[in-house]
């Protein structure tokens, strides 16, 4: 696949959702989107797992999409998944009406569909909403892996143009890239630590947690790899490695919200049942952030 055929290429931060008390802070959300746009990211992904979508009402979900769309001039890929197909379809339609440029669709969680049900779920949404759509495989959260055959079949649908890989199964990811490389289909890293290895075998970019905190370095890492400068990409991988580990010391987005507070980007408030970062991990995260800032 050539770069011109790639529907999504580069760095797409998986945005956090800032809260003022129990309400969404839309002013801070807007300024954060604009901060990331200025840093050079290729697009934004609000209301995914990092955006605490599981604790937002559907109305809040759509309001976040509207705020981010209104704030920036880069593509906005809205999280819009659910474990009920009718609910995911409704969220997808409402996100499209809110101005989203694409959709990120987590696979159905808890009810653990078989491959036939998984494929029917995604095809129903792709048939019902005419936007570019990214299948999101994160079995650690959903309890079910989207297998290679299902993914390759879904890649044939005109509206299913990407796959966010967060399974940690590099063999599976490699096979999906191999078998879709002649399609207009972008495989994107959903695991910051694996972004560089994935880029080396043909991934198109990343939907990144760390890019909320280090967008410039993340963009340089990805662009270096995409342009073939793997020496520089490796340097950046090793610089960012401690951050990748610190940001997943506890359940995402607990650490990244603490990191953003440390950098002055907003409070680290979370909605229950998520809890604050432990003191030990907060100290380690602060040390990593200060080291990166000192080396900038």
The CA-atom distances, in angstroms, between 279 and each of 229, 256, 276, 283, 286 are 38, 14, 9, 6, 10
What confidence score (pLDDT) does residue 5 get? 62
Residue spans of the domains in the chain: they are: 10-237
Sequence ranges of the binding site for pyruvate: 50, 207
Residues with Cβ within 8 Å of 277's Cβ and at least 6 positions away in sequence, in order, are: 249, 250, 254, 255, 257, 258, 268, 285
SS3 3: helix
Q: Mind listing the pLDDT tens digit for each residue in 73-92? A: 999 999 998 889 999 999 99
The CA-atom distances, in angstroms, between 258 and each of 188, 200, 240, 288 are 25, 31, 17, 12
What confidence score (pLDDT) does residue 295 get? 63
Does residue 136 have an active-site annotation?
A: yes
- Locus of tokens 């049900």: 117
CATH of domain 10-237: 3.20.20.70
Whether the predicted pLDDT of 2 surpasses 70? no
Q: Which of 12, 164, 257, 265 is catalytic?
A: 164
Sequence ranges of the binding site: 50, 207
Strands (E), the chain: 10-13, 19-20, 23-24, 77-79, 102-106, 133-137, 160-165, 186-189, 205-208
Q: What percent of the chain has pLDDT over 90?
A: 87
Whether the predicted pLDDT of 4 surpasses 70? no
What's the predicted TM-score (pTM) here? Answer: 0.94
Q: Mind listing the pLDDT tens digit for each residue in 98-137? A: 999 999 999 988 899 999 999 999 999 999 999 999 999 9
Q: Mind listing the pLDDT tens digit for each residue in 221-276? A: 999 999 999 999 999 999 999 999 999 999 999 999 999 999 999 899 999 999 99
Q: Which of 122, 136, 163, 265 is catalytic?
A: 136
Does residue 230 have an active-site annotation?
A: no
């Amino acid at each position: 696949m050539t770069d011109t055929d790639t529907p999504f290429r580069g760095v797409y931060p998986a945005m956090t959702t800032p809260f003022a008390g129990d309400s969404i802070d839309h002013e801070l959300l807007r300024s954060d989107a604009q901060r990331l746009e200025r840093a050079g990211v290729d697009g934004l992904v609000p209301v995914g797992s990092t955006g605490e979508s599981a604790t937002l009402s559907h109305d809040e979900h759509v309001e976040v999409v509207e705020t981010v769309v209104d704030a920036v001039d880069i593509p906005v890929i809205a999280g819009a998944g659910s474990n009920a197909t009718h609910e995911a379809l409704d969220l997808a339609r409402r996100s499209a009406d809110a101005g989203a440029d694409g959709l990120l669709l987590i696979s159905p969680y808890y009810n653990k569909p078989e491959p036939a049900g998984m494929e029917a779920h995604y095809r129903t949404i792709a048939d019902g909403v005419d936007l570019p759509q990214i299948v999101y495989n994160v079995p650690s959260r959903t309890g079910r892996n989207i297998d290679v055959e299902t993914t390759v079949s879904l890649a044939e649908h005109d509206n299913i143009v990407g796959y966010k890989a967060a399974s940690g199964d590099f063999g599976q990811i490699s096979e999906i890239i191999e078998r879709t490389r002649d399609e207009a289909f972008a495989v994107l890293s959903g695991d910051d630590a694996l972004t560089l290895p994935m880029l080396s075998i043909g991934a198109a970019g990343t939907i990144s947690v760390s890019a909320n905190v280090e967008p410039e370095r993340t963009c340089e890492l990805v662009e270096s790899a995409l342009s073939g400068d793997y020496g520089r990409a490796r340097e950046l991988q090793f610089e960012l490695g401690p951050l990748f580990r610190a940001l997943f010391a506890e359940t995402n987005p607990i650490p990244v919200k603490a990191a953003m507070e440390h950098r002055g980007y907003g409070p680290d408030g979370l909605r229950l049942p998520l809890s604050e970062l432990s003191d030990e991990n907060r100290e380690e995260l602060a040390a990593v952030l200060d080291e990166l800032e000192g080396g900038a």
